[in-house]
Amino acid sequence: MQRGLSLESSKSPENLRRDRINRVFARAVIVPTVLALALIAVLILDTIYDTVSVQVVEVTETSGKSFPLGQAWNAEQVIRLELLAQGLPEEEVNRLMADPEEMRIFGLRNRVELMWATQDGPLRWVVSSIDDERVSNYSLLEGLRRWNELKAGLQENQQLRLNPWLDQSFLSRDPSRNPISAGLRVALFGTLWLLTMTLLLSVPIGVGTAIYLEEYAPKNALTRFIEVNLRNLAGVPSIVFGLLGLAVFVRGMNLGPTLAAAALTMALLIMPTITIAAREALRAVPDSVRLAAYALGATKWQTISKVVIPATIPGIATGVILAAARAIGEAAPLLLVGAAAYVAFVPRGPMSEYTVLPVQIYLWISANLSEFANTAAAGIIVLLLTLAGLYALAFWVRRRFRVEW
């Protein structure tokens, strides 16, 4: 066989095969990324899709009227129309509407929504009562496909509507065993409380640890041990932190299933994340700047507190926001330290019982009622929007305040 460079040899079947594999591979490597993107897109679209369902509802006497959008522009006007339609005299309606307590009770018993489609026509205000009986709940596609059939089959007192689960009042309603009136208010407040308490505990510990390791720690076995330990702690599954919290905070310290126990647990969980971010930020500060401060007669702590820390605040803030995002989405450890309980009230302080967004979503998913899947979807959209807001904030802080050395 002749060996040497020729046009023939470069077109040999073997080389053509190699070339083909090479080109196929170059295309194939992007496939996983496309798949990942597709998964995220499908996940979001599917969840949005699940926030709307078609319902057949059997209404009670006090509800069931619908009003066209032209008659009322906000929920308050709808309530007025509803009360008038119930046959109450004008002064009585005015009195009720001026009384916040009466309105609260109305809000607990009823839900006012702008629905995209009802049997009476598109875009109508519907007042539903929690005593209404859900006859059936169909997914959006199936419901629309069978719209006419369902409409024809309606009995007296029954209504057909396209129910948007994620509406304005979803955020302000309390939890309920009835999906139609279940809302996120308690979980939102719980998340806010828990996040605040967790950050108050974990930021000083995490940042302090980082400052010690970067600025003070001598290079010895103890320091190495702390570093290895931090890395391992970051790899411990979050549910194990839940067991720790259950044994130490809920039972050992007798805090019970309270916000305090949950915040301590979550603080330990996200502390390594904050430490790692803070250490990176501290390392980015050049030594020359520290020397400049020392040369001006600053003590070690003055150098750190007046020069180094201010320069790291954008970096640390970004890390803290990302850790907060992680904490907000975390459900597993909280199931063990009390969040799984049915909680009907907004927390009043650290010793209150609580629930949080992802746990509320989990409880809805595991409830055996198809409408709760719609409620869960609505909750997920709220959770994802919250996270998107936090990520955007982190991105903005990093962009806006980053120190260019």
Q: Which of 89-112 are b and which e, b meaning 16 or more Cβ less than 10 Å from the residue's Cβ?
A: eeeebeebeeeeeeeeebbeebbb
Separation between Cα atoms, residue 214 and residue 17, nearest integer Å:
54
For another protein, the binding residue among 87, 100, 297, 349 (CB under 8 A) is: 297
378 binds another protein (CB under 8 A): no
Calculate the alpha carbon distances from 383 to 174, 243, 323, 399 in Å.
Answer: 17, 25, 15, 24
Of these, 329, 346, 352, 393, which contacts another protein (CB under 8 A)? 329
Among 4, 7, 8, 26, binds another protein (CB under 8 A): 26
Least distance from another protein to the Cβ atom of residue 304, Å:
9
| Tokens (6 digits) for 133 | 């009986």
Which are the contacts of 232, defined by CB distance < 8 A and separation ≥ 6? none
Could you give the 3-state DSSP secondary structure of residue 238?
helix
By CB under 8 A, tell whether 353 contacts another protein.
no
Task: Name the residue nearer to another protein (CB basis): 97 or 234.
Answer: 234
Cα gap 318→316, rounded to integer Å: 5
Q: End-to-end distance of the chain based on CA atoms, in angstroms?
A: 62
13 φ, ψ (degrees, to nearest 5): -55, -40
Q: Report the sign of the C-alpha dihedral through residues 178, 181, 183, 185, in that order.
A: negative
Residues 6+ apart with CB under 8 A from 253: 261
Q: CB nearer to another protein: give 329 or 350.
A: 329
Among 48, 97, 144, 293, binds another protein (CB under 8 A): 293
Compute the chain's Rg from CA coordinates: 29
Is residue 251 a contact residue for another protein (CB under 8 A)? yes
Task: Candidates 226, 346, 367, 369: give the one binding another protein (CB under 8 A).
Answer: 226
Instruction: State the minimum distance, in angstroms, from the CB of residue 24 to another protein.
Output: 8
Among 84, 108, 240, 392, binds another protein (CB under 8 A): 240
- Cβ of residue 314: shortest distance to another protein, in angstroms? 10
> Is 89 one of the binding residues for another protein (CB under 8 A)?
no
Q: Note the Cα 178 to chain centre separation in Å.
A: 22
**Which residue from 82, 113, 132, 330 is in contact with another protein, where contact means CB under 8 A?**
330
- 21 vs 85 by CB, closer to another protein: 21
Stretch that binds another protein, among 61-69, 76-84, 124-132, 371-379 (CB under 8 A): 371-379
Least CB distance to another protein at residue 85 (A): 38
